[in-house]
Amino acid sequence: MVQRIELANARRPDYTVPEAIDFEGARNDNIDGAEEILPQVWVIPTAGHTTGHQSLVVECSDGTVVCAGQTHSFAHEYGSELLATRAERESAISDLPERPAWFERIQDFDPRRIVFAHDLAVLEL
């Protein structure tokens, strides 16, 4: 499952390694936006690292897990945005740094664990 824009970008020259995208037996199912691909398994667009970046959200009985990929380089960066969101909600502070447009969508799933591509730390909420 891949965002249509990401697959188009990946097929441009010098974007990535072509052999990692189109190889014998490869199947790329294009999606546009958020989609529940299986019961309680969601693909959510999280543009930033790339225009077609996406994250995987899995709703589990013991709490939702977000595979956030490269939304942030480090777990503490996500944590900082989460604290800013909470501060804004609870005390009407309005001059905090903006979060990405998709951030609230991920929070709507009430995640308990968030993992990142380049950080061994797991954010436990």
For the chain, give every domain's residue range. Answer: 35-124
The answer to whether residues 113 and 125 touch, using CB atoms and an 8 Å cutoff, is yes
φ and ψ of 62, to 5 deg: -100, 15
Q: Residue-wise pLDDT tens for the chain (125 aa)? A: 999 999 999 999 999 998 999 999 999 999 999 999 999 999 999 999 999 999 999 999 999 999 999 999 999 999 999 988 888 888 867 777 888 989 999 999 999 999 999 999 999 99
Q: Output the six-digit token pair for 53.
A: 């970046």
Calpha distance 34→24 (Å, rounded): 28
The pLDDT score that the predictor gives to residue 97 is 80
List the end-to-end C-alpha distance of the chain, in Å, as a whole number. 27
CB–CB of 21/7 below 8 Å?
yes
Per-residue model confidence (pLDDT) at position 1: 92
As a whole number of angstroms, the distance between CA 59 and CA 109 comes to 8
Identify the residue whose tokens are 């693909």: 43
CATH number of 35-124: 3.60.15.10
Pairing state between β 30-31 and 35-38:
unpaired
The per-residue pLDDT for 88 is: 82
Burial class of residue 70, CB neighbours in 10 A (0-12, 13-18, 19+):
middle
